[in-house]
Amino acid sequence: MNKLTLKTIAAHFNVSVSTVSKAINDSHEISEELKVKIRKFAKQNHYKPNRVALNLLNRNTKTIGVVIPNILNYFFVQVLFGIEQVADERGYSIITCSTNESLGKEVKILDFLCSGSVDGVIISTVAGEAQLSEHIAHFEELLQKQIPLVMFDRVTEMIECDKVVVDDIEAGYKATKHFLETGCRSLAIINPIPNSSIGRLRIEGFKRALKEQGIPFDSDMVVSLGVEDDLELTISLSLNLKELNGILVFDEITTVKVMDLLRSKGFLIPKDISVIGFTNGELSRYASPPVTMISQHGRFIGETSANKLIDRIEGKDDKAKFETKTIKTSLVVRQSTLSMEQQDF
Amino acid sequence: MNKLTLKTIAAHFNVSVSTVSKAINDSHEISEELKVKIRKFAKQNHYKPNRVALNLLNRNTKTIGVVIPNILNYFFVQVLFGIEQVADERGYSIITCSTNESLGKEVKILDFLCSGSVDGVIISTVAGEAQLSEHIAHFEELLQKQIPLVMFDRVTEMIECDKVVVDDIEAGYKATKHFLETGCRSLAIINPIPNSSIGRLRIEGFKRALKEQGIPFDSDMVVSLGVEDDLELTISLSLNLKELNGILVFDEITTVKVMDLLRSKGFLIPKDISVIGFTNGELSRYASPPVTMISQHGRFIGETSANKLIDRIEGKDDKAKFETKTIKTSLVVRQSTLSMEQQDF
DNA sequence: CTGTTAGCGCATTCAC
DNA sequence: GTGAATGCGCTAACAG
């Protein structure tokens, strides 16, 4: 009973394959009697049309490929969750690929995704702008094959497609302003994603907020942290913690690590140093103290991306020009920063 | 240039489709000259064989379906990570489905997965034993279609397949013993997965450890927590916190929530009440105090499941009887429990 | 009402 | 060396 196909059923009833097909699809062309017989048999034996065959026939797969840099990062999981929701509602499955922050793997994955296994792709690329200028071929292949593409979060201007981005300038501005408003004026940034353009944008917002208050920006305020770098070493080499009273960190896990480090060195948060992080996940909520965070609304980003992609796939906005949607962030104020009132005294 | 197929290429060179196919697959039957010409053209235009067509031809998809109850749960993400690793190494893709703890959705998903889109399935079922006895059909269909199936974590004896389980009895025992050894003898359990058999096993281990010390077990010690239940209300109705000195919680997020609650009621952890949780994720490491946890080694569970499934798919252990692998847990001791030394004085 | 034919894209016989 | 024919499982157009 391994393979139950139209053919098998046809043989069983001594009719033709197309008759069975029509019967199962409830065509009016087939006699009621025969239809009932066939459908009953099909139901009993759990007949299901082979999706692969249908995919070949319809030239679609009702599947979308999702490519993220790291599945252990809560932000991306939130996005994935949003995508999953929408995909499910609209009748699509998702095939998830993690690049583990490796450009090589990203190329391999995109190559694979070009081969007809998916109807469209949602990606947050691992490639920084420098790398992309040399290594953009894997994207162009997708575009050339007319496979709809939506980039989110880590995007690039070098590729023309729909995009869903966070308003990172505003996010950096908002966080910095909160520092300033609560009396923290000696600030630093820790950037664990130095290759990505989003870091640059957040720093842009940081600068803007400083400028408004007439505080000069100095590039020493920004500490880049490579994947391999030791947090403690890097920080002790680059920052004079005693003079700081606010640190902005660009991802969630690094945020709590920085807080651990500060505590172990005897600093009190937020009394001595305030901390604001990015990505409002569970870690921030239950860390001690609970962390003031920029929420990028990952789930909403996922939903937006998925809806846009599926619209594209289904040709709903066939002629519409590519669109970049900007998702506003929120500052979720908790106890790792001083309160406004506290500061007033 | 949308669709570049063998046919297109054949037309371009005025040869037959099969010639092109052979040329591209480097068959010795084709003249060197023509082969070079065709292959060069194919490369330049990024020809890629259509995977869907190949799937239909080979009757496989090199894809495995992964079904988990909740993608926002760190344990499952860890497992997913492990599966992804192995799948990638062995040339498979994964299609991820989340049931959101809904049996109805699980049925739908399994139904979908039966239709030939995957070569095998890895699942942690949402169904408790009671539900399964009424609702096992969706699994039997998979088995009947000879689609290899591996269950992990939340498994059931009612289905015959390969399984990867956590040694939950031992885990419950280990955690309880740690309480007892650090002087906590008045214990309680909070169980947010009351439908699942794994809760029962952990409680089993709990009882065993109590018995060894001659402490009677009372079913009031176990508090079940439904998805909709309010944590604070349920606890205040069921437990007398002042008399307790140890709480064992069966998942990670509930663990930190319980700790938050205890703190807000003025209890010190671990001085007044010790806490041990399940799933050793980031939350536990960075909570305050860092939490003593049972680690189930989710990533390893994922790797083991994926390897077993792919072995099955590729017929490497065709005749081998179904196997249940038990993964040992570890107790990761941190500061939410008293230290042994402390206790000695 | 039912069956025949054709084709989705590909690889694999088997003729020539 | 090259090409025609076959079939994976299915649907749709067209005959009967």
pLDDT band at A341 (very low <50, low <70, confident <90, very high): low
pLDDT band at A133 (very low <50, low <70, confident <90, very high): confident
In angstroms, the CA of B30 and the C1' of D3 are apart by 12
Among B68, B86, B88, B93, the strongest candidate for a mutation testing the A interface, having the largest count of A CBs within 10 A, is B93
List, in sequence order, the alpha helices (H) in A59-136. Answer: 74-89, 103-113, 129-134
Interface of B with A in 292-311 (CB under 8 A): none
Give the closest-approach CA distance of B77 to chain A in angstroms.
7
Residue with minimal CA–C1' distance to D5 is: B18
pLDDT at B319: 75
Query: A144 and B46 in contact by Cβ < 8 A?
Result: yes
- Which range among A125-129, A258-262, A322-326 shows the weakest confidence by mean pLDDT? A125-129
Encoded tokens for B315: 């017929």
Place of tokens 């043989």: A11
* Nearest residue in chain A measured CA to CA from B257: A286
Name which of B263, B253, B259 is nearest B227 in CA terms: B253
Kindly compute the dihedral angle of the four CA atoms of residues A176, A179, A182, A184, in this order, to the nearest 10 degrees.
-130
pLDDT band at A72 (very low <50, low <70, confident <90, very high): very high
In angstroms, the CA of A58 and the C1' of C14 are apart by 31
Encoded tokens for B28: 């010795």
Q: What is the mean pLDDT of residues B77-94?
A: 97
Query: B50 and A282 in contact by Cβ < 8 A?
Result: no
pLDDT at B273: 97
Residue B201 has pLDDT above 70, yes or no: yes
Q: What is the mean pLDDT of residues A26-55?
A: 93
Residue B277 has pLDDT above 60, yes or no: yes
Q: Which nucleotide is nearest to B28 (CA to C1')?
A: D1
Residue with minimal CA–C1' distance to C9 is: B53
pLDDT at A51: 96
Query: B56 and A53 in contact by Cβ < 8 A?
Result: yes
Q: What is the mean pLDDT of residues B257-277?
A: 95
Query: B288 and A288 in contact by Cβ < 8 A?
Result: yes
Residues of chain A positioned with their CB less than 8 A from the CB of B98: 81, 84
Q: Answer yes or no: is B49 CB < 7 A from strand C.
A: yes
List Cα–Cα distances, A122 to A89, A155, A301, in angstroms.
17, 11, 11
- Which range among A96-100, A136-140, A278-282, B329-333 shows the weakest confidence by mean pLDDT? A136-140
Interface of B with A in 44-63 (CB under 8 A): 46, 48-53, 55-56, 61, 63
Query: B96 and A97 in contact by Cβ < 8 A?
Result: no
Query: B97 and A97 in contact by Cβ < 8 A?
Result: no
pLDDT band at B129 (very low <50, low <70, confident <90, very high): confident
Give the closest-approach CA distance of B128 to chain A in angstroms.
24
C-alpha neighbours within 13 Å on the C-beta side of residue B168: 19
pLDDT at B288: 86
Q: What is the mean pLDDT of residues A251-258?
A: 94
pLDDT at A344: 43
pLDDT band at B192 (very low <50, low <70, confident <90, very high): very high
Which domains, ranges and CATH numbers included, belong to chain B?
A: 6-58 (no CATH), 63-166+298-327 (3.40.50.2300), 168-296+331-342 (3.40.50.2300)
Residue with minimal CA–C1' distance to D7 is: B57
In tens, the pLDDT along A193-213 reads 998 889 999 999 999 999 999
Give the closest-approach CA distance of B79 to chain A in angstroms.
10
Q: Answer yes or no: is B59 CB < 7 A from strand C.
A: no
pLDDT at B341: 64
Q: Indicate the residue of B1, B53, B260 with minimum beta-carbon distance to A144.
A: B1
Query: B287 and A282 in contact by Cβ < 8 A?
Result: no
The count of other CB atoms within 10 Å of the CB of residue A26 is 9
Query: A141 and B46 in contact by Cβ < 8 A?
Result: yes
* Nearest residue in chain B measured CA to CA from A72: B77
pLDDT band at B34 (very low <50, low <70, confident <90, very high): very high
pLDDT band at A342 (very low <50, low <70, confident <90, very high): low
Name which of B263, B329, B338 is nearest B296 in CA terms: B329
Residue B1 has pLDDT above 80, yes or no: no
Q: What is the mean pLDDT of residues A109-115?
A: 95
In tens, the pLDDT along A238-247 reads 999 999 999 9
Q: Indicate the residue of A71, A97, A259 with minimum beta-carbon distance to B77.
A: A71
Query: B51 and A146 in contact by Cβ < 8 A?
Result: no
Interface of A with B in 137-166 (CB under 8 A): 141, 144-146
Q: What is the mean pLDDT of residues B219-232?
A: 93
Q: Answer yes or no: is B3 CB < 7 A from strand C.
A: yes
Query: How high is the mean pLDDT of chain A?
Result: 93
Return d(Cα A22, Cα A35) in angstroms, integer.
8
